Structures are given as C-alpha cells and as structure tokens.
Structure 1
Amino acid sequence: MAASTALASSNSRMPRVTIDTEALKANWRTLDALNGKARTGAAVKADGYGLGAGLVAEALFEAGCRDFFVAWVEEGVSLRASLDGADRRDARIYVLQGLALADVPACLEAGLIPVLSNLAEIAAWGEGLERAGCSAPAALQFETGMNRLGLDAAEIPIVKAAQAGGALDIRLLMSHLASADEGTEQREAQRLQFLAICENFPGVERSLANSAGSFLGEGYAFDLTRPGIALYGGRAGAPSDGKLKPVATLTAAILQVRAAKAGEAAGYGAAAKLARDTRIATVGLGYADGYPRAASGAGVPLRETRPGAMAFVAGHMVPVLGRVSMDLTLLDVTSVPTDLVEPGMRAEFFGANVSIDAVADAAGTIAYELLTGLGKRVERVY
C-alpha cells in the first residue's frame, strides 16, 4: 500500500460545521410568509438544534422573530442572557417542558413563560407566584392525540377555576401535531379537538403548527407557529421541498490518501471488500463527532435495504467506504482526479451539496438527530 500524509495544525483539521445565518433568516422569512397574520416563532431548544442557541436566536431576532421555544428553564435562562439589552426585551421565551416549584424564581428573573402541561405544574406555578408576591404569564399545553405531554380536556374546569381565581394568567394555548408531515386523519382530528378546547378560553392566543404544520395553511397556523427543523434547512414534509435553504454545512479534513489494491479490504471488520484498485481518503470525522455509524458504506444492517451515505470532495460525490469509526471515516475517491484530492482539503458530509436529509435517510434517522447530535469537537463557525 502507498500513503501520502500532510502535516497541519490541529485546529485546521478539526471537524467544522459552518452556519449560514443569512440562510437561517431567509428560511424564517419564508415560513413567516406562509400564514397571513399568524406570527412565526422558532424552536431553539437543544442549543439551537446543535448550532448554538444564542447566535441562532440573535439572527432570528434580527429577521423579526419574537417568540422562542426551549425545553428547559436552564436553556431559557441562558437564552435570555444572549438576548439581553433594551432592544431585546420583547423577546418571548417559552419553556416547553414545564417547571417544578424550585424553578419558579429563575423563571421569573429571566422573564420566561412556562408551558404548563399538568395540574401539578399549574399548582407549582401558582404557589411560586404567591411566594414571590407577583403575577406572570404562562402557557398551557393540551393533549390532543400524541399522548406525550399535555392537560386532558376533562381537566379544563379545574384550569378555568384557577384562571378565574387570578392564579393563572394564560397567554397561549398549545398542542402538538403528531403527524403533521403525513396526510393522515389524525392531524385533522387533532386540529378539531384543539379548536374545541380553545373555545373554553376566548381571546387567548393559540399555537398548533410545528415545521410541517406551518405548510398546512391558516387552518393549522392559528395565531403562532413554532417551526424547528425547517428553520435549519431540514425537510419539513413534501410542501417544503425546494423552499428552504441549507443552513449547516458539516466538513472535515482529509488526513491521508491511500492507494489500495483490488482484493484488499478497508475499515473495521474488513466490511468494505475492494473489487477494484481504490483510492481511499481518510477523513477526521466519526461517530464521536455525531456522524452516525449507521451511515457507513458497509458492515451495518441498514446496508441490506438502502445505500450508504455520500460526501462531496473536490466537486464530486463520493461514497462512504466501510464502517464509520469513532474518529475517522473513509471515502472512496477513486472517481476524483488524483491531483484534486490531497491531505488538508475538506470533505463536505452535509450542506449545500449533500442534503442533510439524504444523509439521515442513509442512516435510518432524521435531520433533527444529525444536527442535535453534533459533538463538542465539531467547531461552530458562523
């Protein structure tokens, strides 16, 4: 075997995800134009889908977004610090996974709006406000068919009693579509159930649509949509095709280019059997960085039903070769002219040239998991 290696500084060779904030803003504006008077929010939980919640939210605020959704109170506190300053005070930050009594002071200090999904959370919020001697807005989430988080319709009388007694200032009613990207009867049944629930709270704003739901028209948009993956350029159901720009580009450096002979094998388990003389680019990216092992070119169960992932090198699409390992991935660059591939250059694993959804399909997962799974070693560049 022959090999060529080039030395470079460690930083220049680390995996990198480049975030195009202008594309992010453009996607938000595209979504915002879909549904008339409904406002368009943004899910920035899980550290802005792995891309950095603070900078993502700053860009979206500049685009016009004022409603942001996180999962935990701690995420909301951090986001409020990022959106600090007099010109950012009108940003509304909702905490989707409710709160415990101990969370109330932090919630109040950061001006967060908890999304309360059960009676215990409503009681905790009320007790926390009583202790603090103040009032503050909250949102309510109702169960309409997903069986995940949410109050039941049968609990509405208890909720209304708390509202009437002044212990609950409801600013938003929510539910969550389970099948927004599929033409099923379930999503319409959820919409109708949500409408019936909202009739009990006249004048309160309503929110049902996620990314895919944002493309279903004003009947699903209500007063506020809350897209997530669509903002970041991921597929959000068939209607989104071609309308959204890729936001994140994952690249990694080629560390070595090898010439292997027909009959040899590559990678763990000798999973890739070489039927021809093959040029192999070894790239510094692996499953420890969030690039899934299931995207391997061979040696994993999914290869029995679908092809492995592709990457983009020097203007050419090339296949992943063998098994993705912890720190390294092999690419078959035999089809790329020899003088175009050398150590130090970067290969794109998803972005403008390689659809993140295509990689997700190869790995048997979804774009959400690829973004939120990006590891700490992956440098974020804006």
Structure 2
Amino acid sequence: MMPADLPDSAAFGATLTIDLDALISNWRLLGKRAGTEASAVVKADAYGIGIEPAVTALAKAGCKSFFVAHVSEAIRARKVAPDATIYVLNGLLPGAAETFAAHGLSPVLGSHEELLEWASFRQTGAQVRPAALHVDTAMNRLGLWPGEGLNLARERSGVIAAAGIGLVMSHFASSEVETDPANARQIAAFAEIAAALPEVPASLKNSSGHFLKDCPSYQLTRPGYALYGGNPTPGQPNPMKPVVGLEATIIQTREVEAGTQVGYNGRWTAKGKRKLATICLGYADGYPRNGSWTDTSTGGSVLIDGVSCPFVGSVSMDLIIIDVTDAPADAAKRGASVTLIGGPLDLETVGGGAKTIGYEILTSLGRRYQRRYIGG
C-alpha cells in the first residue's frame, strides 16, 4: 500500500481520464439513431476503460443487455448488473453450461454441437437464461452456416426450440466501409434468418452498422467501439463524444547536437540541435512499439500546449523520448504533462501513428495508469 501522503504525480507516470457521462451519451445517441434498444459490448475490459465502472454507469442509465467475449468477463459484469442480460460472444466451451447457469449468463451458440450441448443441459431441468443463436453471414469465424441456420429455424420444434433461443444474431465484416457490397449481402442473408424465426428478437447492427443505409435495426443493436469514442464512420467527422484522455509526465529534458543517435539501437538521428524530453510511459503501458519514430519511418506524437511533438527513437518498455524543440519552453519541462490521447490526437490518429487501429489502442490501455473517472 502506498503512503497516504504520496502525491499522485509521484505514484503514477501517466493519467488516464475516463468520461463516463460521454460513454452514456454515446450509448443514448446510438439507441436514438437505431430507434430500438441498444445493448453495450463491454468485452476486453470494456475496451480498456474497466468493465465494472462501464457496466455500472450504463446499467444505471438504462442499458439492459451486455455482450462480452469470455465467461470471466461476464461474471464481473454480473456482479454490478444483477438484473441485466449478459451474452458471452465466444460461445459455449465444452462442459461450461453449469457455470453459465450458476451466474445467469447467456451463451451465444454458434455451432450444432453447442446447440445440442445447451439443449441437453436445459433438459436436465437446469434454470438458465435464454441463449442467443449466431449465424455466420460473412466472417467465417464463428456461427452456423446460413443454410444450416435456415434449416434449423424452419424445423421450429427441433434443436433451436430445445435450446431456448431468445436472440438470433450475425456480425458485420465490413460495416465501416459503407460502399462494400458485402454489407448488402449480409443484410439480405440475415433477413432470411430473421424471417424464419419471427418470434425471436434479432440483432445485426454493430457500431458502424448504425450508420449503414437500408440496414434494419431489428429489436437489439450491439455497439462497441463507438461507445468508447471510436469513429464508426472512418473518413467522416466522428459523431461520438471522446471518452478517454491520456496524459504523461516529463521526467527529464536534454539538448543534443546534430548527429546524435537516440534510443535503442540508435534508430533516430538528430538532424540538428534538438531539445528532447522523456516521458514516463512505454509499451508496457499499452502504447505499441510500432509507434516508434526512426530515421526511415514516422510514428506517434504528443501535444504540448497545442504543439505536436513527435516521438524519436524506439518506444521502450517504460519510456518514450520526444522531440520538444518546437514546444514552448515553459510547457516542455520536467514535471509538465503531455497529451497522448485527446483533442486532435483522437483514437484514429493515435492508431495511425502507431501503425495500428484505434481498437488496439483502446484495448491495450495499461494497468499502471492513474485512472480518473468522471461523470457517470
């Protein structure tokens, strides 16, 4: 335990600010846009912001359904949302039915084997929540083939009935690309499935699906990335509010001369006299090493008093070196804060600088940050 009088600035090298009011606002916006009930996808520790605070805030705001990837995540969500419906997207692992029943969880069944195992468990008289049926319309990852799903749906009294299906769903492969013809094919394929099970609520829209033309909302939508401030309409203005901000502290500054090599393996060389600063954050905190800026490739950057300052050299485990030559001297000094996520440095920009996507930036947010929750 840290001493009670230890200041946060001494205990943590970086601060992650999470705006729960913005999270709730994004959820409400998507539900209003869809004109139907919006659930919340809270897998991967609620995309890095924390399952417990995210689920607590959303449930308080009226969210009734949550989706996670693993049973362990579902159990955490259940503790703070005792009345919610909690679906486990990764399906029913062999022998896991009793755990689902014990915690009131709903498996997303995506194979005939899973359907049979769940139906058999229900026939023992076990008290379980309704399961979801996943039909694969494009991803070739999880789910029944469309033809298989249609055949089972048309049987009505067969294994789908025995499994107690309370939701039928599919997952878009390219919904963020509005012009991709795969979207129309998936919408049409899923419409057949939903029509074959008219008494079962359906779910198709993910975050970007809320912005696709001619895409039915059905009874439930499943936003994820957009809830956390990610842009569901790449290349267009982001309709979502930012949820996360990240700042780190400058530990040390120094001046180097032209020709000085910086960082591991000397991968960046100063082209002139430069002022450098080192911040207390690295790839162990979830910032990808691909954000390194070398002599031959660009990388990430920070904002100091509104001035963009690039990384220089390799992102190391606990530290990043920044070229702060162009920043105001009084804002680029030992103990000052720099912005890594926030303002113009939105998730998409940060992801691009690290040669990845905003999803990875979010879900990699480290556990060594001081986490500051506001709102909610």
- Superposed pair shares fold, TM > 0.5: yes
Would the aligned equivalents of 2:101 and 2:127 in 1 still touch at CA under 8 Å? no
Determine the structure 2 residue equivalent to 1:367. Answer: 358
Gaps of 5+ in 1: 1-6
One-letter identity of the residue aligned with 1:284: C
What displacement does 1:60 show? Answer: 1.5
SS of alignment partner, residue 106 of structure 2? strand
**Identity, % of aligned positions:** 39
The alpha-carbon distance between structure 1 residues 99 and 299, as it changes in their structure 2 partners (threshold 3 A), is farther
1:65 corresponds, among 45, 63, 66, to 63
What's the CA shift string for 1:300-357, capped at 9, x where partnerless?
A: 7xx2xxx322211233221111211111101111111222222222211112341121
The alpha-carbon distance between structure 1 residues 138 and 9, as it changes in their structure 2 partners (threshold 3 A), is closer
Q: Distance in 2 between matches of 1:135 and 1:311?
A: 49
Q: Distance in 2 between matches of 1:153 and 1:26?
A: 35
What displacement does 1:164 show? Answer: 4.4
Matched, 1:358 2:349: yes
What displacement does 1:63 show? Answer: 2.6
Q: Distance in 2 between matches of 1:161 and 1:251?
A: 56
One-letter identity of the residue aligned with 2:141: R
Show the 5 A alignment for 1:135-214: 136-156=129-149, 157-158=151-152, 161=155, 163-164=157-158, 166-182=161-177, 183-214=179-210
1:43 corresponds, among 37, 41, 44, to 41
What displacement does 1:43 show? Answer: 0.7
Determine the structure 1 residue equivalent to 2:89. Answer: 96
Q: Distance in 2 between matches of 1:324 and 1:101?
A: 41
One-letter identity of the residue aligned with 1:69: F
Q: Distance in 2 between matches of 1:162 and 1:201?
A: 8
One-letter identity of the residue aligned with 1:70: V
Determine the structure 2 residue equivalent to 1:127. Answer: 120
What displacement does 1:218 show? Answer: 6.1
Please identify runs of 4+ aligned residues in structure 1 that moved more than 6 A.
Answer: 7-10
Gaps of 5+ in 2: 1-5
One-letter identity of the residue aligned with 1:148: R
Q: How many pairs are equivalent? A: 365
Determine the structure 2 residue equivalent to 1:30. Answer: 29
Determine the structure 1 residue equivalent to 2:241. Answer: 245
SS of alignment partner, residue 51 of structure 1? coil
Would the aligned equivalents of 1:163 and 1:169 in 2 still touch at CA under 8 Å? no
Would the aligned equivalents of 1:16 and 1:252 in 2 still touch at CA under 8 Å? yes
Larger mean CA deviation between 15-24 and 234-243 belongs to 234-243
Q: Distance in 2 between matches of 1:9 and 1:41?
A: 35
What displacement does 1:24 show? Answer: 0.9
Determine the structure 1 residue equivalent to 2:320. Answer: 329
Would the aligned equivalents of 1:271 and 1:323 in 2 still touch at CA under 8 Å? yes
Q: Distance in 2 between matches of 1:64 and 1:55?
A: 14
Q: Distance in 1 between matches of 2:128 and 2:266?
A: 64
Determine the structure 2 residue equivalent to 1:269. Answer: 265
What displacement does 1:42 show? Answer: 0.9
Q: Distance in 1 between matches of 2:183 and 2:301?
A: 34
In the superposition, the TM-score normalised over structure 2's length comes to: 0.91
